[in-house]
Each structure stands twice: as C-alpha cells, then as structure tokens.
C-alpha cells in the first residue's frame, strides 16, 4: 500500500508559524480553493488532532512557545466585538462538543461542524477558529506546567471575555472546560473569581440546553469551590440554586453525576446561603431520592450533601419532611455494621444525626426510626470516643420527651453519662450559631433595641443622681431583657450542699441575676442526669455503683470548682426516701463516706495515688452533709421500717450491706442497738468478712463500719482491754538471773540445763521448782532429773531458753522477753518467738506467755509496726494477741487506710477459721475482755 503523501501540517513548526502569523495579522487568511480551508484552520486542526494529542505533545507545544500565540489569537477573537445571543435550541452540537466532558483528559473529536442557522451566530470562520483554539487550550491546561504558563501569560481574562461575548453552546462548552482545568490550581482559581467568571458561568447554567455544555459549566463551578471563601462567594452569587433546579429536572445520568459532585463540593462547611438556595431550588427531594441510586458515586455524594446540609438549622425541618432523617440513619447504621466503613466515613453522618436532634419534628422521626439505639451504640463504642461529647449534647434534645428518656434509661444511658463526666474532651469542632435549633428561629430585630420603659427608667436614674450618664446603665438591666432563670428544682428536706463555690465574676454591663451556671464539656451529661434524678424513684438508674462513682469522681476530680448541678443531684438523691434502700444495697453510703469524708477513692485502694488536696475540707463537708441527709431518711418511720425489713427479710447480700451501712446512717442508740446487737446485724457482718467480697472496697467499708460502731458503743476509750504496749521500755526491771552468769556467781548455781546445742545454762533448783509446776515435778519429784545436776531440755534453742531461765529466777520486765522477737517485717511463724511461746506453754509458765505476747505486741504492733504486721501477729493463734490485733485495727485515731489494710491481713491470716477473728473483733467493738461474758449477739 502506498504511503500517504506528507503535508505541511505534519510539521509542528509549520503549524506554530501559521498560528504566530495569525496571532500577529488577524484571524483571516487566503482560503485554499481545493480544501475550502484557510492555512490557519488546517494548522489548528492538525495541532488539535495530531500534535497535542501525541505522547509528550503538550509539553513540546509549550516548550516551543505555542501558548503565547494561541492566547494572542484568543485575545484577538475576544476583541472582535460582542456576539449575538446564543443559538436556539435547534443548534446541533458539533462532534467537538460531544467530547468536551468534565474530565481533564484531552479531547479526540474531529473538526467542529457548523452551528445551526436558526439564530444569529458568529461568523462561521471565527466560530470554527475559536472552537479549535479553545479545544487546544483546554487540552493543554490538563498539565500543571501549562496551567502555570497560561496564568503567567494572562490567559484568564480572554477566556472570561469569550464567555461573556460568544453565546454559542460549543464555544461556551470549551471555554468552561478550559476555565475548569485552570481552576485546578489555587492561584488560577483566585484569578478566575477576580475576573468575574462566576456570574457568567451561572448565566450559562440557565441559558444552555446542551448536556455536554452544562457538564463543563458545572465542573468549572465545582473546581472553583476550592476553599471556604470561594464556596461562600459562589453561594452568595447564586450558584447553588440553578444547580438544584437542574437536579430537580431529572437530567441524564452523566449530568446528574456532575451536579451531585458540584453540590457536594459547594455544601462543604455549608453556609446559610447555600442551604437556602438548595432548598428553594427544590433540591432536597431529589437528593433524598438519589440516596438510593444504583450508582455508588451518585448515592454517596447525595448522602454526604444531606449530611452537610444538617449544619444549617433553617433547612433541617424541610430535610426531615423530605425523608432525610431515615436516609441518614439508615446509612450510618449500614456503615457501623460488620461490613461497614471505618470511623472516618462515619464522622459526617454522626454529626448530621446529632444535629437533627435539635428540632422536635426530627427527634420524633429519629426516635421512631431507631435513632436512640444507634446513639447509645455510639456511646458504648470506645472507638467512637471522640464523638461522645457530641452524642451526649444531642441527647439533651430529648430532655422533656418522657418516652424517649424511659427508653434511654432502659438502654443504660445513666452509667454512660456518669462515665462521661471525667472523660477526655473530644476533638469535635464547635457548631456555629447557624446550626442552632430552628424550633426557636432568631428574630431579625435591631440589636440592643431599647424599650420605652428602659428609657424612662434611665432618665429617672440620671435625674435623681443615681447614674452619671447614659453609659452607666446597660439595656440588659431593663425588665424586657431580664434573663429567664432556670426552673426551680425540687427543694430537698436537708440544706443545700455546703461546698463553698467561688462567686461568679460579674461582667461589666450585666446584671448579677444574669450570671449563669458554668457550662463546661460536662454540662450536657449533668443536665440529663439532673433530669433523671427528678423522677419519683431514680434509684434504679442513679443510685448504682457506676453512677455514683462517676458523680463523685467528677466532684472530687474536676480541675476547678464542680458544677453546682452535680452537688444538687447528690443532695436530691440522698434526700429522696425512695433511694434509701438503693444506697444501702449498693454500698452507696459507705462509698460517700470513704470518698468524700475519708478521701479514699476506689482507685486509691489498695495502692495510694497522689492527689491534690486543695478542696479536701470542702469535700469532707459535702460528704458529711450527704450522710446527714441519709440519716434523716434512715431514722424516719419509713426508713426504720425499710432497714428492719432489709436486715431481717432481705437476701444474704442485702442483709450484709444493711449491717455494714447502719453505723454510718444511724445515730439513735435505740435503733442501731436493736438492729445490730439485738437482731444480730453485727455478727452477720463479722461472719461475712471471710467470705467472697461482694464489693471491691468491702473490707475497707467493713473496717470503717466496725470502727464507727466501736465509737458508738464506747465513746471513750475502754479500760477493759489492756493496751498493746503496757510496759514502759524506758525503765526495765532489775534482772535477777544475771548474777548467776558471772565468773563468780553468787549464789552459786546448783543445777545446769543442757540444751540440744550443747550450751549449759546455770540455774537454782529451788527457784526453778517454785516458778512452775512443771519444773517442780521435774526437779523435786520422783523423776530421775531430781537427782541430776545436768538436766537436758530438749527441743529448745538458746534464744528461746533465755527468757525461760530469766522467768524461772524471778525476772519480770527485765527485757529478756524481747530477745527472741524478730524485728517488724520478718515473719513470726517459725521464728524463735513462736518457739519461746510454745515452750512457755509447755513448761506451764502463763506469766511468761503473757510477757512474751506483750513483747510481740510492743515490737510488731507498736509505733514502728505497720498494718502488714497485724496479720503476722494474728497467725500465732494467741487469743490475747488476737485481741491486741483487733484493738490496733479498730482503735480510735487509726488511719483509715492502715485500718483497712490491717483487716485485710487479719482476714487472710484467719483463712477458713473465722471464729477467732470474729470473737476478737466482737470483743473490741463491744469493749469487753476476750472470753468474758458480754451481751448476747446470737442471730
């Protein structure tokens, strides 16, 4: 096959020369009679179809300087004068137009066809030249270097001029496409806005009938919305409403996709103007319908547009009427499902659903569509923690919806709210005033308008000398501007919380009555908790471990003074008789005392955490006030009946909780004696110590409760129990055994005891026989040892034998009993102290046993001993030492933490044998000697 004959247009140089000549001389030229074309037309067609579309062709065209004459040609064309109006609907789009779609890819259409002659149009040669030149420029602007070059050469102004002057669809299409490609650069985008292209593009939206032209214009507007300022400018110039009207006209699929993409970009950070125009243009209904479009890109764009529109309160009711609530809820539920998308894709939908809760009509739709369950699921999800503050604020909208509140309470909202009080602040941005509820639209009145009554009042104050001038009096002081105070909450029988709060600072020009309660990030959660606490019986929701822990953690851990609303919630709960049993069952009263009065939070047990104590006194005062409220309820006829029923007929766990709580909330001796002593509550509590604990702080509560009861039974220190350190270590008694140990003993020993180690200890037979019945029988009876001068003592170490020899020779308090006692921190079981105590019992030396026990108490239960030593001493199994351990644990003035740690050690040492521990604690609480007859405490 013969090769095609080369033509001059195959050369890029020839084409550039023709382009340069035309740019310098004009758009005309001598027409070739054979082809009916000018050399410029052939050059432009070759550039467009061959040179620019070739691989690297755009870069070569730019490097050879082709953009400069091309833009000069467009300038000459734009200066040729305004064109007639746009061609009518009968104009047929050329093949070039059909290929000029919204994407930046180069066009591949053949030469443009002639426009319809049904209406005036530019000269055919000029229109063809513009078609080709604009197509070349649009294709070149798909590359970044060319866009920068066009901007540098000032090519934007000619394009805007052509857009204004030449109203042919094909020209408008290619001009909009070139502007859309240029708008991909932020610098060019600003220049296009400054050049005034936006109104012309908006005009094209309403004038053009061709779908391809409309797609190019829509794409140009979308690319021009590259920043919040530009989006706001487009909306204020009216770019949104024509787009919405086109969408409502049910266009073809390609144009529909272009429209939803443009509206999605324009609705980011949705402005009031954008929302108004989209609503007025009838775009809400079509967007809701497109949310179920089979094409994913259209469907997701429509859903995100609806989510963006929720930022404007004025459009949310109409959006709900159009079905937007169900659409957004359904999409969020789908994305949160097992096969859903990640948290990033859920964020705009979560924000939209929360904003929809601000209007009553949408709240009803959201509640009926399962929105409450969805919001509760978000609160339970730790991965959604950054959205929790927003969700809680949205739930405030249901504050007066009794049915919704009941449903939320059943779903477990209260403990989640309590946990939110001390949680970390989310990263969500604050909503503007335009996102406020549209149930109360703002009145468009002049700001700070002064009423006639205020002007009269101001004139009188100035005339009487109470004010120096008009500037001294704020219009906010007028009756018309008095702030509406919060509805009074139910008064409690007890006084208000006594925690002193700093006085709110007065703002200049504001009335003191206008000072509002602090509203921090915890404000929504506290408002909902306050609403729940005003129910007739809030105990099931609020008087629980998680809810009380959350409230107390906020009150004691807030960086500044806590909100007065939290204090009112606690006061309201403790003053409600319906909550009394719940405070008992949940150990709430014990928790209030431990956390507020004693300053020990659950996190502080058993390991102590470092805390700031600046408000410690105020917390103690609050705790005492709350316990006093519970005391009022407990000592009322209703409370007495409730506690008696709980103690006698409740479950085993409830009976133990009641016995533990009674010392905290009962001050009438007749009441606590009857319930704890006569009806066996105390022994019930003691028997529960060695069973599995029903509460993490049970042993701490029990130690505090037994100590309080000990103080109620014995207000003064009981003299019946011997102190743990009865002897004075500073003045020991003289040692009577020491003279036998010298080189010249006086009197001389007539007996030696032989130990297993071979050590011989001197002794007096008469003194040893007198001190103990065992040694009397051994040394003065019929046994062989009575005739021996060297008597063996088996199973006795020197350290254990030393206090025995001293005691046999009359030493009392000489310090020999301290010899076998190990220092604190070392175990007593298996030590020489235990051996000495066992030997003292074996040799029938009760006085020595008591002295050794007192020595153990002095060392391990004295000032240098700690709570960990109490269990070690108890393990020796000595009743008197057990009594000393109980006295050390429950004695007055003991640190609450040490007391509780000592009780833990006692329980661990007692193991399954609870009897000795129970008897020892019972004797200390009742103030009687262990083993003596006290009051009957049988159940």
Between CA 552 and CA 877 the distance in angstroms is 41
Radius of gyration of the chain measured on its C-alpha atoms: 47
Top pLDDT among 825 and 633 is at: 633
Top pLDDT among 862 and 390 is at: 390
Q: 674 near 875, Cβ under 8 Å?
A: no
215 contacts: CB under 8 Å, gap ≥ 6: 101, 102, 254, 255, 258
The band of 442, judged by pLDDT with boundaries at 50, 70 and 90, is low
Least confidently predicted of 81-90, 555-564, 568-577, 610-619? 81-90
- Per-residue pLDDT tens for 159-169? 999 999 888 89
Q: What is the DSSP letter of 593?
A: I
The band of 5, judged by pLDDT with boundaries at 50, 70 and 90, is low
Residue 705 has pLDDT above 80, yes or no: yes
855: left (phi over 0), alpha (psi -120 to 50) or beta: alpha
Top pLDDT among 78 and 697 is at: 697
Top pLDDT among 294 and 930 is at: 294
What pLDDT, on a 0 to 100 scale, did the predictor assign at position 594?
Answer: 94
What pLDDT, on a 0 to 100 scale, did the predictor assign at position 41?
Answer: 82
What pLDDT, on a 0 to 100 scale, did the predictor assign at position 468?
Answer: 57
What pLDDT, on a 0 to 100 scale, did the predictor assign at position 611?
Answer: 58
For 634, the 3-state DSSP assignment is helix
- Per-residue pLDDT tens for 460-511? 666 655 555 555 555 554 444 444 444 444 443 333 333 333 333 333 333 3
Between CA 862 and CA 854 the distance in angstroms is 10
**Angle, nearest 10°, between helix axes 564-574 and 616-634?**
30
Top pLDDT among 348 and 108 is at: 348
**Residue reference for tokens 């702080």:** 697
The phi and psi torsions of 840 (rounded to 5 degrees) equal -65, -40
- Per-residue pLDDT tens for 632-681? 999 999 999 999 999 999 999 999 999 999 999 998 999 999 999 888 89
Mean pLDDT of 893-915: 87
Name the helix (H) or strand (E) containing 791. strand 790-793
Name the helix (H) or strand (E) containing 780. helix 773-780
- Per-residue pLDDT tens for 281-331? 999 999 999 999 999 999 999 999 999 999 999 999 999 999 999 999 999
Count helices and strands (H / E) in the chain.
48, 3
For 727, the 3-state DSSP assignment is coil
Between CA 575 and CA 569 the distance in angstroms is 10
The band of 579, judged by pLDDT with boundaries at 50, 70 and 90, is very high
What pLDDT, on a 0 to 100 scale, did the predictor assign at position 548?
Answer: 95
Residue 245 has pLDDT above 70, yes or no: yes
What pLDDT, on a 0 to 100 scale, did the predictor assign at position 355?
Answer: 94
Of 367, 339, 337, the residue nearest 353 (C-alpha) = 367
Q: What percent of the chain has pLDDT over 90?
A: 42
Between CA 404 and CA 533 the distance in angstroms is 16
Mean pLDDT of 347-358: 94
Mean pLDDT of 114-130: 60
Between CA 310 and CA 175 the distance in angstroms is 35
Q: 316 near 355, Cβ under 8 Å?
A: yes
Q: 768 near 760, Cβ under 8 Å?
A: no
What pLDDT, on a 0 to 100 scale, did the predictor assign at position 420?
Answer: 86
Least confidently predicted of 116-120, 237-241, 580-584, 884-888? 116-120
Nearest-5° angle of CA 760, CA 763, CA 769? 130
Strand arrangement of the beta sheet that strand 760-763 belongs to? 760-763, 751-755, 790-793
Q: What is the DSSP letter of 8?
A: G
CA 187 to chain centre: 41
What pLDDT, on a 0 to 100 scale, did the predictor assign at position 831?
Answer: 87
Between CA 209 and CA 218 the distance in angstroms is 13
Q: What percent of the chain has pLDDT over 70?
A: 80
Residue 934 has pLDDT above 70, yes or no: no
Whats the size of the chain, residue-wise?
Answer: 939
809 contacts: CB under 8 Å, gap ≥ 6: 736, 737, 740, 763, 764, 767, 768, 771
Between CA 879 and CA 562 the distance in angstroms is 50
HEC letters along 829-859: CCCHHHHHHHHHHHCCCHHHHHHHHHHHHHH
What pLDDT, on a 0 to 100 scale, did the predictor assign at position 744?
Answer: 75
Residue 231 has pLDDT above 50, yes or no: yes
- Per-residue pLDDT tens for 149-196? 999 999 899 999 999 988 889 999 999 999 999 999 999 999 999 999
Residue 229 has pLDDT above 90, yes or no: yes
Least confidently predicted of 246-260, 450-464, 688-702, 837-851? 450-464
Mean pLDDT of 6-10: 73
What pLDDT, on a 0 to 100 scale, did the predictor assign at position 930?
Answer: 54
Residue 770 class from Cβ within 10 Å (0-12 exposed, 13-18 middle, 19+ buried)?
middle
Mean pLDDT of 456-462: 63
- Per-residue pLDDT tens for 773-824? 998 888 888 888 888 888 898 888 888 888 998 888 888 878 888 888 888 8
**Residue reference for tokens 């770019």:** 239
What pLDDT, on a 0 to 100 scale, did the predictor assign at position 780?
Answer: 85
The phi and psi torsions of 914 (rounded to 5 degrees) equal -85, -15
The phi and psi torsions of 755 (rounded to 5 degrees) equal -90, 170
Between CA 838 and CA 820 the distance in angstroms is 12
Q: What residues are paired with 793 via a beta bridge?
A: 755
Global pTM? 0.76
The band of 521, judged by pLDDT with boundaries at 50, 70 and 90, is confident
Mean per-residue pLDDT over the chain, rounded: 81
Of 545, 582, 554, the residue nearest 696 (C-alpha) = 545
The band of 606, judged by pLDDT with boundaries at 50, 70 and 90, is confident
The dihedral through the CA atoms of 776, 780, 782, 783 has a sign that is positive
CA dihedral 155, 161, 165, 169 (to 10 degrees): 50
What pLDDT, on a 0 to 100 scale, did the predictor assign at position 914?
Answer: 79
Residue 539 has pLDDT above 50, yes or no: yes
Top pLDDT among 452 and 146 is at: 146
What pLDDT, on a 0 to 100 scale, did the predictor assign at position 656?
Answer: 95
- Per-residue pLDDT tens for 205-216? 988 889 999 999
């Amino acid at each position: 096959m013969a090769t095609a004959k080369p033509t001059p247009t195959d050369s890029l140089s020839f084409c550039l020369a023709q382009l340069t000549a035309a740019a310098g001389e004009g758009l005309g030229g001598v027409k070739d009679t054979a082809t009916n074309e000018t050399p410029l037309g052939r050059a432009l067609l070759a550039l467009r179809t061959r040179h620019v579309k070739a691989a690297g062709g755009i870069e070569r065209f730019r490097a050879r300087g082709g953009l400069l004459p091309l833009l000069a040609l467009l300038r000459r064309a734009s200066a040729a004068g305004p064109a007639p109006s746009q061609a009518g609907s009968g104009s047929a789009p050329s093949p070039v137009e059909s290929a000029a779609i919204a994407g930046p890819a180069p066009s591949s259409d053949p030469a443009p066809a002639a426009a319809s002659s049904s209406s005036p149009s530019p000269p055919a040669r000029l229109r063809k030249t513009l078609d080709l030149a604009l197509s070349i420029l649009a294709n070149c602007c798909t590359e970044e270097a060319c866009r920068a070059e066009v901007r540098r050469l000032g090519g934007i102004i000619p394009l805007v001029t052509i857009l204004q002057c030449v109203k042919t669809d094909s020209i408008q299409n290619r001009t909009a496409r070139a502007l859309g490609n240029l708008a991909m650069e932020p610098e060019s985008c600003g220049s296009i806005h400054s050049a005034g292209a936006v109104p012309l593009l908006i005009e094209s939206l309403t004038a053009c009938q061709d779908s391809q032209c409309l797609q190019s214009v829509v794409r140009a507007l979308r690319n021009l919305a590259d920043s919040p300022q530009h989006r706001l400018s487009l909306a204020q110039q009216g770019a949104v409403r024509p787009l919405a009207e086109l969408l409502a006209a049910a266009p073809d699929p390609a144009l529909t996709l272009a429209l939803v993409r443009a509206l999605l970009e324009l609705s980011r950070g949705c402005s009031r103007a954008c929302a108004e125009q989209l609503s007025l243009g009838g775009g809400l209904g079509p967007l809701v319908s497109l949310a179920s479009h089979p094409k994913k890109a259209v469907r997701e764009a429509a859903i995100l547009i609806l989510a963006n529109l929720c930022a404007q309160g004025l459009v949310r009711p109409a959006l709900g009427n159009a079905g937007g609530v169900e659409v957004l809820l359904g999409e969020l539920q789908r994305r949160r499902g097992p096969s859903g998308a990640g948290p990033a894709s859920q964020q705009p939908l979560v924000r939209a659903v929360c904003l929809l809760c601000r209007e009553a009509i949408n709240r009803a739709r959201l509640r009926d569509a399962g929105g409450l369950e969805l919001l509760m699921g978000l609160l339970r999800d730790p991965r959604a923690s950054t959205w929790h503050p927003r969700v809680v604020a949205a739930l405030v909208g249901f504050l007066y919806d009794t049915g919704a509140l009941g449903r939320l309470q059943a779903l477990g909202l209260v403990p989640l709210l309590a946990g939110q009080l001390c949680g970390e602040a989310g990263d969500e941005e604050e909503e503007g005033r335009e996102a406020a509820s549209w149930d109360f639209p703002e009145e468009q009145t002049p700001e700070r308008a002064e009423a006639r009554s205020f002007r009269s009042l101001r004139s009188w104050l100035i005339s009487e000398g109470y004010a120096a001038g008009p500037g001294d009096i704020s219009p906010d002081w007028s009756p018309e501007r008095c702030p509406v105070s919060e509805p009074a909450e139910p008064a409690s029988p007890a006084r208000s919380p006594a925690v002193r709060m700093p006085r709110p600072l007065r703002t200049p020009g504001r009335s003191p009555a206008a000072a509002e309660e602090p509203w921090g990030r915890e404000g929504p959660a506290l408002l909902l908790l306050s609403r729940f606490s005003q129910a007739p019986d809030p105990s099931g929701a609020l008087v629980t471990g998680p809810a009380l822990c959350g409230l107390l953690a906020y009150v004691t851990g807030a960086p500044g003074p806590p909100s007065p609303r939290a204090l009112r919630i606690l006061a309201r709960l403790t003053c409600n008789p319906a909550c009394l049993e719940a405070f008992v069952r949940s150990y709430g009263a014990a928790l209030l005392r431990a956390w507020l009065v004693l300053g020990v939070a659950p996190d502080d047990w058993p390991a102590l955490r470092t805390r700031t104590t600046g408000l410690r006194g105020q917390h103690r005062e609050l705790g005492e006030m709350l316990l006093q409220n519970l005391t009022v309820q407990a000592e009322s006829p209703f409370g007495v009946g409730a506690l008696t029923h709980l103690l006698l007929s409740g479950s085993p766990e409830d009976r133990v909780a009641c016995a533990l709580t009674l010392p905290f909330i009962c001050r009438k001796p007749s009441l606590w004696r009857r319930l704890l002593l006569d009806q066996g509550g105390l022994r019930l509590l003691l028997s529960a110590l060695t069973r599995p604990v029903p509460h993490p702080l049970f042993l701490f509560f029990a130690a505090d409760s037994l100590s309080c009861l000990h103080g109620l039974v014995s207000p003064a220190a009981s003299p019946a129990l011997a102190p743990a350190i009865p002897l004075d270590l500073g003045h020991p008694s003289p040692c009577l055994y020491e003279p036998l140990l010298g080189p010249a003993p006086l009197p001389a020993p007539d007996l030696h005891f032989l130990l297993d180690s071979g050590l011989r200890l001197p002794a007096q037979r008469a003194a040893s026989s007198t001190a103990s019945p065992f040694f009397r029988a051994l040394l003065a009876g019929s046994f062989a040892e009575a005739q021996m001068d060297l008597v063996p003592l088996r199973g006795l170490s020197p350290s254990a034998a030393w206090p025995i020899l001293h005691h046999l020779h009359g030493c009392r308090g000489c310090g020999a009993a301290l010899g076998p006692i190990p220092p604190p921190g070392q175990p007593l079981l298996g030590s020489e102290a235990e051996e000495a105590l066992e030997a003292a019992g074996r040799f029938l030396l009760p006085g020595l046993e008591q002295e050794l026990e007192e020595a153990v108490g002095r060392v391990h239960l004295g000032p240098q001993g700690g709570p960990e030593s109490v269990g070690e001493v108890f393990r020796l199994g000595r009743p008197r030492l057990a009594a000393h351990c109980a006295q050390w644990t429950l004695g007055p003035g003991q640190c609450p933490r040490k007391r509780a740690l000592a009780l833990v050690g006692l329980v661990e040492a007692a193991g399954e044998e609870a009897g000795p521990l129970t008897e020892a604690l019972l004797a200390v609480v009742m103030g009687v000697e262990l083993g003596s007859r006290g009051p009957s405490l049988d159940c």
